[in-house]
Amino acid sequence: MVRRSICSTASSLLVMFVLLHWIAVSAQRRPKESPWKTLTGEAPVVIANGGFSGLFPGSSSFAFSSAVLATSSDTILLCDVRLTKDGIGVCLQNLNLNNCTDISDIYSRGMKNYLINGVPTQGWFSVDYTMKELSSVSLKRGILSRTDRFDMSYFPILRVEVVPKTINGSTLWLNVQNDIFYKQHNLSMRSYVLSISKSVIVNYISSPEVDFLRSIVTRFQKSKTKLVFRFLGEDIVEPSTNQTYGTLLKNLTFIKTFATGILVTKHYIWPVTSDIYLKSQATSIVNDAHKEGLEIYAGDFVNDGIIPYNYSFDPLAEYLSFIDNGEFSVDGFLTDFPITPSEAIGCFSHINNSILDHGKPIILSHNGASGDYPDCTDLAYNKAANDGADIIDCPVQVTQDGVLICMSSINLMDNTNVGQSPFRSRISNIPELQNTPGIFTFNLTLEEIQNNLRPSISNPDIAFGIVRNPRYKTAGNFLTLSNFLWFAKDKELSGILINIENAAFLIEKVNISVIDGVISALNDNGYNKQSALEVTIQSSDSSVLVKMRQQTKYKLMYRIDESIRDAAASSIVDIKKFADSVAVDKESIYHDTHFFIINETNLVNSLQNAGLQVFVYVLRNEFVSQPWDFLSDPYVEINSYVKGASVDGIISDFPASARAYKRNSCRNLGEKMPTYMLPVPVGALRPLISPAAQPPLGSPLPVLEDSDVVEPPLPSVSPINPSIPTPTPPNQGNASASSTQTSISTILSPVSSMIISILVIVGSVIID
């Protein structure tokens, strides 16, 4: 117990120091509020469910204090009240202590079986232990998908009266459930609540039990305490009335007799289909509640769960749909991640979505809006442009008949259904391109690709069971480079980017110069004679950019395709010779280990001091793509790279979220910036982890050297034999593919093709 006490005290001091430093920069202030459609006309409130329980163990001292310090002083702290054997109220997020504490390790023989509201329930329960006995029990995460690194910090179970003391003046919400269960153990939740309210200011009391609220309503009629009836699932029976919660919802006049508000799960307001899409419209429940004079709070909000695909994995967009839809606004949110609704309410609501500027940070799409539609399709590009991308990109590949096409990978197996098509027999091994077999773009003609293959949406987090927009996973059409250039001309863009890779291989093995084809396509579409759209050529191969600098005046971006901690001065000098900007991956700026940031590198400063713009890639909305430091919030991540690291541009699968960030009303508040819009302290979480649970650091990242940058000059395209007819691909100039069939056949591995083809067929059937 001494060890736990020392560890807890030291950790508490450390987290308080870090978080106080975070908010010391500015006092919490909201910009001038626009009219709200809440019951009172005031801004919605944020209710932290067990504190910041999305990161720290729920109802722990860290969770409660960080919920206020990382958001604002008016964030409400919700405590789920449980009673101990000796009648003391404690905050625990689950009635079964085994789901939120280490009690099974401390009292291994303490499992009991009880009937809870008619349901047989097995576990460990607070009614079987005194407060003294529970003092040896520690809190831990309640949802297994969340980090377990703080489970060994030995957070004690807190008494209710301790919660408002974690942050003086904080607003307290008590949630009371299972009153009947406590009565069966000769404990009175009513007596406890009335008693605690005499010594602690209780601002809200909620319960899903009618009789409990009716038993206390007269005692709070003349107080400022609000009573809230909490609705559980529509088909669940409320024990006091023996009616389902769905039935009670139809009688809000009755609810008004003992409550000032209702708390419902978010799906009561925005129903969701079985395949996780929003139904066509919201219900009338918010307006119905307001007509009865009831406030309505929406619950069940998390950043680290699957939300309806309509929101593109953007939790802030989900919050906005409940408060900024033009029809209604809930009066508050119950959430495990209080920072995100704070952002939505304070900085992202009621803004002018028609405003479009192309200033910093520059938003560069990654294969179009590839988070919503298959890479490089017309749908992905159209959404990227409509969502406010400044620049849209075309990673250019070449077909068998020499046509340049926008496609995210040279291997068709990465982004199409080619493995399930008649062309699956064209599989080959090409070690120069990748270590695994593939069917490559130059194995098929443009007609074969466009008429026979379907695109396939990218799922970078499929290992976590997360898939993108399943209704549209094969939607859209591929674009040739010329189609792409034509498409971009009438869009509100500042520029386009063409990415060129594998140029040397295509010259040597396929006898096609992609560089010549790109230049010809740009010329044919008039890009060399206009200034409205800036053209940028990107490559991870310096020889490509060197040749482009020799032959054109387009902007050039060098992509560093490995994680580095810095760049040697001499390597930066080399980069300056052929590039105007550099794209670096996220970890090259914020180095992390096991999803905890270790430090910020000096790479951005080094490159910018040399006059190079810095773009960071690839930002994604899926919470599993972000270190824990970014709080499962894509806007915290964007803000950290833009305000914290000062990058010039961001490369994103979700341009809509990046554009929303640029439009937010708090960007230029200076010293009045709300706490929740300040960059997170770099690497502040890892020191809070107990020594026994510290993630391994791993090897340090390398420094970029001259040898990593300098590439041999590109080879020349072989002379074309005039006796062999050469087809001229449409609008591609010199990108002809003479003798392509002969060249490609020398690449294939005929001995292994049959075996590989069989494996591809079997694999395709399994995957499909």
Tens digits of residue pLDDT in 254-302? 999 999 999 999 999 999 999 999 999 999 999 999 999 999 999 999 9
When mean pLDDT is compared across 306-310, 650-654, 680-684, 707-711, the lowest value belongs to 680-684
CB contact at 8 A, 627 and 595: yes
Per-residue confidence (pLDDT) for residue 720, from 0 to 100: 55
Q: Could you give the angle at the alpha carbon of 350 between the alpha carbons of 344 and 354, nearest 5°?
A: 115
Tell me, rounded to whole angstroms, the distance of Cα 346 from its chain centroid.
20
- Mean pLDDT to the nearest integer, 147-165: 96
Query: Assign residue 739 a region: left if phi > 0, alpha if psi is -120 to 50, beta otherwise?
Result: left
The percentage of the chain sitting over the pLDDT mark of 70, rounded to a whole number, equals 89
- Mean pLDDT to the nearest integer, 39-58: 97
CB contact at 8 A, 60 and 159: no
CB contact at 8 A, 208 and 238: yes
Q: How do residues 591-629 score in pLDDT, each as one tens digit? A: 999 999 999 999 999 999 999 999 999 999 999 999 999
**CA distances (Å), origin 456, targets 390, 446, 539, 656, 674:** 25, 17, 24, 21, 41
The Cα 219–Cα 142 span in angstroms is 34
CB contact at 8 A, 79 and 160: yes
Residue 659 CB partners (closer than 8 Å, separation 6+): 363, 387, 388, 389
Per-residue confidence (pLDDT) for residue 196, from 0 to 100: 97
The length of the chain is 768
- Mean pLDDT to the nearest integer, 56-74: 95
Q: Could you give the angle at the alpha carbon of 585 between the alpha carbons of 580 and 590, nearest 5°?
A: 115
The Cα 94–Cα 139 span in angstroms is 11
Residue with token string 């309505």 = 296
Kindly tell me the number of DSSP H helices and DSSP E strands found in the chain: 26, 28
- Mean pLDDT to the nearest integer, 180-205: 96
Residue 326 CB partners (closer than 8 Å, separation 6+): none
Per-residue confidence (pLDDT) for residue 167, from 0 to 100: 86
Residue 748 has pLDDT above 90, yes or no: no
CB contact at 8 A, 411 and 442: no
Closest CA to 654 of 678, 628, 629, 626: 626
The backbone torsions φ and ψ at residue 179, rounded to the nearest 5 degrees and listed phi first, read -60, -40
The Cα 688–Cα 28 span in angstroms is 25
Residue with token string 């793509």 = 625
Radius of gyration of the chain (CA): 30
The Cα 206–Cα 263 span in angstroms is 8
The backbone torsions φ and ψ at residue 539, rounded to the nearest 5 degrees and listed phi first, read -160, 155
Residue 721 has pLDDT above 80, yes or no: no
> Which stretches of 655-767 are DSSP H helices?
655-663, 706-709, 740-747, 750-767
- Mean pLDDT to the nearest integer, 364-375: 98
Q: Which residues pair with 557 in a beta bridge?
A: 538, 581
**CA distances (Å), origin 281, targets 267, 268, 269, 319, 328:** 12, 12, 9, 16, 12
Beta-strand ranges (E) seen in 97-199 are: 112-116, 119-123, 138-139, 155-156, 171-176
Residue with token string 């990227």 = 384
**CA distances (Å), origin 381, targets 261, 388, 391, 393, 623:** 45, 11, 10, 8, 24
Tokens of 577: 């010779």
- Confidence band for 469, pLDDT divided at 50, 70 and 90: very high
Residue 96 has pLDDT above 70, yes or no: yes
Q: Which residues pair with 174 in a beta bridge?
A: 79, 205
Beta-carbon-side half-sphere exposure of residue 462 (alpha carbons within 13 Å)? 7
- Mean pLDDT to the nearest integer, 702-720: 91
The Cα 83–Cα 89 span in angstroms is 5
The Cα 628–Cα 633 span in angstroms is 9
Question: What is the bridge-based pairing of β-strands 581-585 and 613-619?
Answer: parallel
CB contact at 8 A, 499 and 393: yes
Report the b/e string of 37-54 with b at 16+ CB within 10 A.
bbbeeebbbbbbbbbbbb
Residue 764 has pLDDT above 90, yes or no: no
Residue with token string 């980017």 = 497
| Residue 369 vs residue 8, higher pLDDT | 369
Instruction: Report the amino acid identity of residue 224.
Output: K
The Cα 712–Cα 8 span in angstroms is 58
Listing DSSP states for 287-318 in one string gives: HHHHHTT-EEEEEEE-SSSPPPGGGTT-HHHH
Per-residue confidence (pLDDT) for residue 169, from 0 to 100: 82
Q: Which of the 8 DSSP states describes residue 438?
A: B
- Confidence band for 572, pLDDT divided at 50, 70 and 90: very high
Tell me, rounded to whole angstroms, the distance of Cα 543 from its chain centroid.
35
Residue 762 has pLDDT above 60, yes or no: no
Per-residue confidence (pLDDT) for residue 12, from 0 to 100: 47
